[in-house]
Amino acid sequence: MATNPTPISAKDIEERLINLKEETDEINGPDEITRRLIIAGVALVVLGAVYYVGKRRGEKTKTFIEVVRSQ
């Protein structure tokens, strides 16, 4: 462990915190393209679910009319 004979000043702490902030800014979350792909995927899943539920509901409430001809 190295010892530093000079006392730590406020400027030293400020420089260190600025360096840490710059490093954390570089390590960000998913980039814009990834977010757009995720949103598009979620939208497709939601649309598919709505279509499927609507299709099932439509089949249950269909009216069936039978026409019988008498001879």
Where exactly are the structural domains of the chain? 10-68
What is the model's pLDDT at position 7?
85
pLDDT band at 70 (very low <50, low <70, confident <90, very high): confident
Amino acid (one-letter) located at 2: A
61 SS3 class: coil
Q: What are phi and psi of 16, to 5 degrees?
A: -65, -40
- The model's pLDDT over 18-40, given as tens digits with 9 standing for 90+, comes to 999 988 877 766 678 888 999 99
Task: Name, in order, each residue with C-beta under 8 angstroms of 30's C-beta and a sequence gap of 6 or more.
Answer: 38
